[in-house]
Amino acid sequence: MKITSIQARAVDMGFQAQKLQTTRVASPMSRFPQFGEKRSSWMWPTKKVFVRIESDDGQVGWSATNGGEIVAMIIEQHLSRLLDGVEVTDISEVWDQMFFSLLPCDRSGFPMMAIAGIDIALWDLKARTEGKSLVDLLGGAKTPDLAVYCTTPQPEAHGGAEWWGIKAAMPFEPSAGDQGLAENVKYIAQFRDVAGKGRVMLDSFMAWDAEYTLRFAEAARDLDVYWIEDPLPPYDLDGLRRIRAEAGSDIRLALGNFCFTRWDCAELMREDLCDLLQPDVAWAGGITEVLRILDMAAEKSVPVILHNTCEQPWALALAAARQTDAVVEFVDRGETSPLYELTGPRARIAGGRVAVPTAGNRPPEHISALFDGESARPSQSRS
């Protein structure tokens, strides 16, 4: 399998228009009043990046990741020239080459999204070349469907569903004071009312600190919150240590959404700071790196729930082939959203379970048309 073309296009798929972006949701920027009311006021480049890789036998592999024009530029202006004409016999070796070439720049965020975009497309290409589905290439599905939890801004719309659990994105950060804390407790109570005795989780998107997390947990003790996700910025290991020391097992921490490599995850597990990991395959270096993360987590007996799984068919394939009794995430973006169908049909969810996809990645026709007639490495990515 020799690579003859690597292309990337950044495309606006309506991410900033979804309710989670246009309503008040706590974030690292909430402490600044001009950015507190909605994430879309400050969010990083949110165009989706579609990646197309063609081999010398005419097969094409596809993927999608995040990071807009920045990630598209890294792929087309840097990573593509490393791999142009390369015979791919070992995708993990290609991954290492991409990673080490970017070390002088960074080893997180946008560079890892770029690596993930190429890596996922290479796995898709390999599956097509071998005439297999990705899930079969990864070892075969342990089950035809997977348990799903739902992240939603509208819990009342999901009360009758048989979700594994429902998760809230918290609206307020510490700068909102006691009133904000009371509003957060009131908000999660709505989820508890809907869920009954089911699991209720929350995501505070790196907006809190250790003191606030401990205060919230005490105030919401009667609501039986199953986990608190990403309460602190990832650099605040001292804060995580404090939560663990003072709360022990009373607070279950879900971390790893902003872990971009196996080393980030290893640091959390080494100190027993997380109860479960939630890496995103399209952010954390792609399939190759997440396979390594899954192996590490299994050795430590740390559960893994892949972030934003139902919009990523490759993530569903990973969960089905490499995890036992896997749980995955569905993000509620409303009745319709192009984000549900980035590289294939919308995931089929029924009875709180999602079917494991067996088809290869394929973006909508209007997206694939952006690549028609283009050279392998155009000088400027299209938006």
The model's pTM is: 0.95
Note the pLDDT tens digit of each residue in 256-302: 999 999 999 999 999 999 999 999 999 999 999 999 999 999 999 99
What span, in angstroms and rounded, lies between the C-alpha atoms of 107 and 264? 10
What span, in angstroms and rounded, lies between the C-alpha atoms of 236 and 233? 6
Every domain of the chain and the residues it spans: 3-132+366-371, 137-355
CATH code, 3-132+366-371: 3.30.390.10
- Confidence class for position 149, pLDDT limits 50, 70, 90: very high
Note the pLDDT tens digit of each residue in 293-334: 999 999 999 999 999 999 999 999 999 999 999 999 999 998
Note the pLDDT tens digit of each residue in 42-56: 999 999 999 999 999
| CB contact set of 62 (below 8 Å; sequence gap of 6+) | 50, 51, 52, 53, 121, 124, 343, 360, 361, 362, 363
What's the whole-number mean pLDDT along residues 121-144?
97
| CB contact set of 84 (below 8 Å; sequence gap of 6+) | 3, 4, 5, 6, 376, 377
Q: Which residues are catalytic?
A: 307
SS3 of residue 241 by DSSP: helix
Q: Decide yes or no: CATH 3.20.20.120 for domain 137-355.
A: yes
Amino acid code (one letter) for 71: V
Strand ranges for the chain from DSSP E: 3-11, 48-55, 60-65, 145-151, 165-169, 199-203, 225-229, 253-255, 276-277, 327-331, 349-350, 353-355
